[in-house]
Every structure is written in structure tokens, then in C-alpha cells.
Amino acid sequence: MLEILNHRMFDALAAPHGLAGASLLAILLLAQGAIYAGPCVLVFLWIFGEADDRRAAVGACLSSLLALAIAHVISSVYIHPRPFMDGPVRNYLGHNPDSSFPSDHSTLLFALGFALWICPPRQGRWFGGLLLVIAVAVGWARIVLGAHYPLDIIGAALVAAISARSFALLAGQALSAHITTFGERLFSWSIAGTQKNIREN
């Protein structure tokens, strides 16, 4: 029953056979390039944010690593074919014929988005909301291009939400705080060393 619903949702969202030109290029860029928004947000929060923003960025990074690890285990145990493996669906992304559930791209973006959304800093929440919107858009694009079924994206969101919630607990916060403190010291030492080299030269 669930699989029938999955296929029907895919049929409603999948790209027509004649998709080409600017429309295809825009969806390809979204499906493949938008994932870099996640790391860019983390770097921005680390460099330009306050201590709470940096801690939130570290927590989001750890959350995404946990989510990707869980997703890898699931996809190794539960082998689900991709749409282009199931029938006459064009593989617009040229994706490898491996297991589709859950989507790694969506898992990463949802994990970063959820982790930042539930963190205390207001700036982090804003970026978390932005990444969640991008995650939905990327998931849609990868469905349209025949790489994933809708339930692959929904599964990614669930895995990401569980991971983000795990790091919101006290143990996760403590780990994030320790790593943040260590990273801030390294960052300060590197800045000081760069400034010293500039003065000497």
C-alpha cells in the first residue's frame, strides 16, 4: 500500500520526457549544487557569528555526520531501487544504480537545518529555516530528475530530525561545546600566526 502511494506520488512529480533547456539546467543545478549551501552556512556562522553561533554550527555538523551514518546503515540493509531502475524513467542525473532510501543529499541538508532550527541563537534559527527550505527544494528536484522517490526524501527528513534531536540533548551540547572551544583556540592561533607573518614580511 505504501509502495503504491510512493509510486503514485513519484508519477505526479516526475519530469516529463521532453524536459530540456533552461528548465532542465535549473533543476540540475538545484539537485546537485544547492547542497553546498549547508557547508557555506556553517563556515559563515563560525567566522562571523558569536560563541553560541559557533557552538550551533559544530552541533549541526555533528548532527549531520550522525544522520549520514544512520542513512548509510539503512541503505546498506534496506535495498530500494531508484525510479530509473524500476521502469522507463530517464536518469537525468546519471546516478549510480544503488539503493535510494534515504536520500543522502536531503539527509545532510535536513540534518543541518533541523539542528540549527532548534538551537538557541536567533541567527542560527534563521539559517536553519533557510536550509530546511533548500532541503525540500533539493528533494523535489531529485524526485523530478528520477533519482529518488518521495518516501526517500521523507525518510531522510525523519533520520535528520532524530539525529538533530539527539544532539540537542545535554550530552550532545557538552560535546559540541568542547569541540567548539578547541576549534576557537586553533582558529585564534592561526589568525595570530598569520598576523605575525604579515608584520614580519
Q: Is residue 19 part of a domain?
A: no
CATH code of the domain containing 180:
1.20.144.10
Q: Is residue 90 part of a domain?
A: yes
Q: DSSP strand E in 67-147: where?
A: none
Nearest to 135 by CA among 95, 108, 102: 108
Which residues of the chain are modeled with pLDDT < 70? Answer: 120-123, 169-201
Distance CA 88, CA 97 (A): 14
Report pLDDT for 118: 85
Q: Is residue 28 part of a domain?
A: no
Report pLDDT for 143: 92
Q: Is residue 4 part of a domain?
A: no
Report pLDDT for 173: 63
Q: Is residue 5 part of a domain?
A: no
Q: Are 108 and 157 in contact (CB under 8 A)?
A: no
* Residue 196, C-beta contacts closer than 8 angstroms, at least 6 positions apart: none
Report pLDDT for 179: 60
pLDDT in tens, 16-67: 777 778 888 898 899 999 999 999 999 998 888 887 888 888 888 888 999 9
Report pLDDT for 25: 87
Report pLDDT for 9: 85
Distance from the Cα of residue 47 to its chain's centroid: 20
Report pLDDT for 24: 82
Q: Is residue 169 part of a domain?
A: yes
Report pLDDT for 47: 85
Ramachandran angles phi, psi of 135, nearest 5°: -60, -45
Q: How many domains does the chain have?
A: 1
Q: Is residue 145 part of a domain?
A: yes
Per the structure, the complete domain to which residue 182 belongs is given by: 36-200
pTM for the complete prediction?
0.82
Q: Is residue 182 part of a domain?
A: yes
